[in-house]
Amino acid sequence: MILALKTDNPTAEIVLLDVEGRVIEQEEWLAERRLALELLGRLESLLSRHDATWSTLTGLVVFRGPGSFTGLRIGITVMNTIAYSQTIPIVGTITEQWRQLGVERLQKAENDTIALPEYGAPARITTPRK
């Protein structure tokens, strides 16, 4: 099974796919500022509904951006952590066909090891107040 995640905007998307890229289940929810609080529980719930565990997964696909700095940071960090802790290949994609491209890359045995975000603009950092 392949787990795919897109957190570039307030509506987050998680998808469980078979190794051929067919959707087993897809879930979208308005995460907004609750993404960090809800994401891991929703991922675990999705897996348990299909009698799957982290070790059942054969690959991870994560949307790298562009998009929300905080949303991408949280989603990509969670997926990188899962990939590292479970020794699962991870690929990051940036196109509208992000899931399809990610599945194709996994089928070619590609592995980014660490997916890095593509924010689409430089960070807007304010100067510290004294």
Measured distance CA(87)–CA(42) in Å, rounded = 21
**Segment 55-71, tens digit of pLDDT:** 999 999 999 999 989 99
Give the tokens for residue 58: 């054969």
Q: Cis omega (within 30 of 0) on the bond before 128?
A: no
Residue pLDDT, tens place only, 25-52:
999 999 989 999 999 999 999 999 999 9
Please indicate, yes or no, whether the overall pTM of this predicted structure exceeds 0.85: yes
Listed in sequence order, the residues at least 6 apart from 54 whose beta carbon sits closer than 8 Å to its beta carbon are 47, 82, 85, 86, 88
SS (H, E, C) 104-118: HHHHCCCCCCCCCCC
Residue with tokens 């399809």: 100
Domains of the chain from N-terminus onward: 2-107 (3.30.420.40)
Q: Are 95 and 101 in contact (CB under 8 A)?
A: yes
**What average pLDDT does range 110-125 have in this prediction?**
86
